[in-house]
Chain A
Amino acid sequence: NAGVTQTPKFQVLKTGQSMTLQCAQDMNHNSMYWYRQDPGMGLRLIYYSASEGTTDKGEVPNGYNVSRLNKREFSLRLESAAPSQTSVYFCATRVGETEAFFGQGTRLTVV
C-alpha cells in the first residue's frame, strides 16, 4: 500500500503559469485535505473534502481551486501562480475523527 501519494515532489513555476497538484490515496478514506506549510505559519488548510463530490473552503482558499475526482483523488489547481504561493503543499486523508495521514509534500517555488 502506497498510502497517500502526491505528485510532483518539486516544481518551479513562473508567475502567471498554472498547474495542478495531484493527490491519490489507497486507504479508502472519506476525507481529504490540502494544506500549505510556510515558516512560522504552521499548516494552513486550503480546501478539504469530507466525501466524494463535496468540497469546502479552509482558512486560505484564495487563488486555489480543487476537484474531488473520485474517492481516491483530490487535486489542487493554481490558475495563475503568484510568488506568495511559494510553499510546501501537503495532502492528507482520514476517516472520521481519527489520525490524518499525510503525503510526502510538494515543494513549489513561484518566480
Chain B
Amino acid sequence: KQEVTQIPAALSVPEGENLVLNCSFTDSAIYNLQWFRQDPGKGLTSLLLIQSSQREQTSGRLNASLDKSSGRSTLYIAASQPGDSATYLCAVRTGGTSYGKLTFGQGTILTVHP
C-alpha cells in the first residue's frame, strides 16, 4: 500500500526566504507525482506535475524535483511571499498507467509573514 509522508507538517518563515518542502513515498512504481496548494476553505490548485520519467519541473518561483528510486520529491519555493501561505500537498499516482490510485500526503502548512 502506497504511503505518502510530508515533512515538515508546518513551516513559518519570513518573507523572502527560499524554502524546501519534502515528500516521500513508499512504493517507487509511480506513474506521476503532483504538487498542489490548498487555500483555507477552498479546493486544491495544481502547481506542478512530474512524470515518472522526469527529474524536475519548474513554474515561476517553484521547482519540484523527483527521485523515484529513493521515493522522494522536493518542492522548492524561491523568494517566498505572504501570498504563498497555504497548505501544500503532494500526491502520487501509483502504477504504470493513469488508472492507478492517487495517494495524498497530509500536507505542509506554510505561513510566510511580512
A and B interact: no
